[in-house]
Amino acid sequence: MTTEATHTDQRAGGTTHAGLQAWVDEVAAMTTPDHIEWVTGSDAEWTRLTEKLVEAGTFVRLNEEKKPNSFYAASDPTDVARVEDRTYICSVDEKDSGPTNNWMDPNEMKDLMRGLYAGCMKGRTMYVIPFVMGHVEAENPMFGVEITDSEYVVVSMRVMARTGVNVLRRIEELGENAKYVPALHSVGAPLEPGQQDVKWPCNPEKYIVQFPEERMIWSYGSGYGGNALLGKKCYSLRIASVMARDEGWLAEHMLILKLISPEQQVYYIAAAFPSACGKTNLAMLAPTIPGWKVETLGDDIAWMRFGEDGRLYAVNPEFGFFGVAPGTNEHTNPNAMKTINKGNSVFTNVALTDDTDIWWEGLENTPAHATSWKGQDWTPDSEELSSHANSRYCTPIEQCDILADEYYDPKGVPISAIFFGGRRKTTVPLVTESRDWIHGTFMGATLSSETTAAATGAVGVVRRDPMAMLPFIGYNAGDYFQHWINLGKDADASKLPKIFYVNWFRRDEEGAFLWPGFGENSRVLKWAIERLEGKAAAVETPIGHVPTPESLDTSGLDMSDADIAAALKVDPEEWKAEIPQIEEWFAKFGDTLPTQLQVELDGLKARLGVE
C-alpha cells in the first residue's frame, strides 16, 4: 500500500528493499502523516530541520561564536526523563520478562498501541531514519530503522548514531539478508488543520515497548532521549541484551576507556554505573596522577564478545554522547567541555543565558540573569534550579579530542577490568576487588545505588540495580545472571577481565563527599591495574579485597588520613544491614536465581558471621 503522501513529497525517497518499504507503508497507513521523508544524513538536511525547529520554537540557535551550529531546547516539564513505569518487555511468555520488567501480552499491547498510533502523525511529517549501531563494516551490522514524527529526534539521532543514506544502501545491498530492528516512535500529538503546534509536542500517555522475540520497538508519547532515540537504550541495551543471550555475548550499560600507564602499557576498562552515576565523566577522565593518560571509547554502552584469542572485546555502538549537563565543568570534565564547545550539539533543559549561550548548575561563570529550563527569569538568588537535574548535552563523539583510534575498529578492544559501581552514601568502600568471575558477577547482581533524576520517580532511594541494567535487561534478570556465569564458565579464566566494585559517592558525617572523584578517580584505576599486575597490596575483607591505605596512590591528594580510611572502610555492621536487602532482592527470582549466586551470598553471610 502506498499513501498519497509518498507521491506528493519531493523528499519522499523510498527503498528498493521490499520488506522495509512494506513496513514503512504500513506505518504510514496507520499513522496518516501529511508527508514522508527518508532521512539522508546530509548537512543540508540538518540545516533544513534545525531551521524548522527554530521556526517552531522548539530550538533556539545558540551564539555562533560560543557554540557554533548548536541549539537549545526546553521540553515539556512532564517529559524530562526515562519513564520506567511505562516501559514494557512484551515477551510471548510472561516469565521471560522476569520479575524486574513490566509485561503485557504482546498482542494485547499491539492492539492497545495501534489504537494510539491510529492517525497520530496527522499534520506532521513522518521521518524514516535508517541507522546502524556499531560499524556498518561489522561482520553482522546491527541495523535499525526508526520511524518518528519528531524533528528533534531526527536531529538528535544523527548525533547519537550512524544514520542516513549509506546505511540504507548497505541494507539494500544485503537485501532480504539484512536484519534490522524496526523502531517506531511517535510523540502522540496529531495536529488538526490550522492547529498551532506546541514547542514540545508529547502525550501524557506514554509507552516504551520492546517486543524481544520480534526484535521490535514501539515508543509513544515522549520526546525525551532515552524514550525516543530508539537506537540507544531500547535497541542497544534491551533488544541487544536478548540477542546477546541467544548468541553468547554481552550488551551492557558500560563506558569503555583506554588507560595508558607511564610505562606506555595500554589497558582497556569497561564500567557499569546506573544512569547519572558517573559513566560519561569516567569515560573522559583527565587523570590527576602524573604520567597516566586516558582516552575515550564510549560513555554509555558496550557490546562485548569473546575474540579468537579468548579475550573479551568491547565495542561502543554509539556515535555521540548524551551526557548529564549539571556538574559538568572545566574542572570535573574538561574533555566534555572541549567537545561541546566545538558545537554541532543540542542542549535540552539547561538554562539559556542572555547572550544565547547555555548554563547549568556547576558550570563556571554564573550569569547574573538567565532563562530557566522552565522559561522563567532566573538569577543566582532564585530558589529554583536553572536547569533540570537530568538536563542533557547531545554532542558528536568524533569531536572528543581524546577519542581513541580504536573507536573505529569494528573488532573492539580487549577488556582487562570491569568496574561496577553506584551511588551510596554509606557502606560501600571506594573500591573492592572481586575474588573471581562468579564473585564479580555476585557484586554486579547485587549492585545498589540511590535513584537519580535520569528516570522519573523518587530520587535518592537505594535500590538494587544489577550490573546497572535494571531498566535495560530485555529478559528475565535471573536468566541474565546465569548468562554472565555461563560466559565465565566457558572462558579461559586467566583471560577474563577482573571485576571491581567502586563507589565515588560515600559521604562523611556532614554529608560531604569523602572522595574528591572525577580526575582523582585515576588513583583507583591505577590501583586496579597494579592489582592485575600483581603489584599492589590489598586487605582481604568479608566483601573482597580493598586497598591498604599505602597501596592507593594518594600523593598530592588533599585528603586527611582519616578521610582516606573512611572512604576505604568496610564496616561489618553496615554490611550486616545489607544482607536482608540482598536476600529480599534474590527472593524475587525464585528458581531462576543461579545457585552460584546463592552460594556467594551464603559465603558473605558466613564471613560476616550472620546466621
Residues 267-286 that bind ligand PGA (CB under 6 A): 275-276, 279
Task: Find the binding residues for ligand PGA in span 201-260 (CB under 6 A).
Answer: 225-226, 233
Q: Within a 13 Å sphere around the CA of 287, how many CA atoms are in the beta-carbon half?
A: 22
> Which residue minimizes CB distance to ligand PGA?
226
Distance CA 437, CA 440 (A): 5
Output 15 or 222, the one with its CB closest to ligand PGA: 222
Q: Is 227 annotated as a binding residue?
A: no
Q: Pick one of Mn ion, ligand PGA, ligand GDP, none as the site partner of residue 206 (Cβ within 5 to 8 A by kind).
A: none
Residue 243-282 contact track with Mn ion, rule CB under 5 A, x = bound: ------------------------------------xx--
The CA distance from 547 to 559, in Å, is: 16
Contacting residue, 241, 280, 449, 456, with ligand GDP by CB under 6 A = 280
Complex with ligand PGA: residue 81 or 242, whichever CB lies closer: 81
The distance of closest approach from Cβ of residue 490 to ligand GDP in the complex, given in angstroms and rounded to an integer, is 30
Amino acid letter, residue 295:
E
Of the residues 202, 277, 394, 400, only one is catalytic, namely 277
Which listed option, Mn ion, ligand GDP, ligand PGA, none, makes contact with residue 408 (CB within 5 to 8 Å by class)? Answer: none
For ligand PGA, how many residues bind (rule: CB under 6 A)? 10
Q: Decide if 307 contacts 496 (C-beta within 8 A).
A: no
CA triple 457-459-464, angle to 5 deg: 90
Q: How far apart are the first and last CA of the chain?
A: 67
Q: Is 150 annotated as a binding residue?
A: no
Neighbours of 570 (CB within 10 A): 17
Residue in this structure with the C-alpha cell 513529497, named with its chain if needed: 9
Residues 306-345 that bind ligand GDP (CB under 6 A): 323-324, 326-327, 332
Does residue 456 interact with Mn ion by CB under 5 A?
no
If DSSP states are collapsed to H, E and C, what string results for 267-284? EEEEEECCCCCCHHHHHC
C-alpha distances out from residue 306 to 237, 244, 252, Å: 18, 12, 14
DSSP H stretches of helix in 38-123? 43-56, 106-117
Complex with ligand GDP: residue 27 or 325, whichever CB lies closer: 325
Residue whose C-alpha is closest to residue 446's, from 469, 426, 429: 469
Residue of 55, 12, 17 lying closest to 36 (CA atoms): 12
One-character DSSP codes across 404-449: -GGGG-TT-EE-SEEEEE---SSSS-SEEE-SSHHHHHHHHHT-EE
CB-based contacts of 442, cutoff 8 Å, min separation 6: 434, 596, 597, 600, 601, 604
Least distance between ligand PGA and beta carbon 94 (Å) = 26
- Binding site partner of 327, from Mn ion, ligand PGA, ligand GDP, none, Cβ cut-off 5-8 A by kind: ligand GDP
Tell me whether residue 277 is one of the annotated catalytic residues.
yes
* Residue 19 or 457 with smaller CB distance to ligand GDP: 457
3-state secondary structure of 462: strand
Q: For ligand GDP, which is the closer residue by CB, 423 or 439?
A: 423
For Mn ion, the binding residues (CB under 5 A) are 279-280
For ligand GDP, the binding residues (CB under 6 A) are 273, 275-281, 299, 323-324, 326-327, 332, 504-505, 513, 517-518, 521
For ligand PGA, the binding residues (CB under 6 A) are 82, 225-226, 233, 275-276, 279, 300, 322, 454
- Active-site residue list: 277
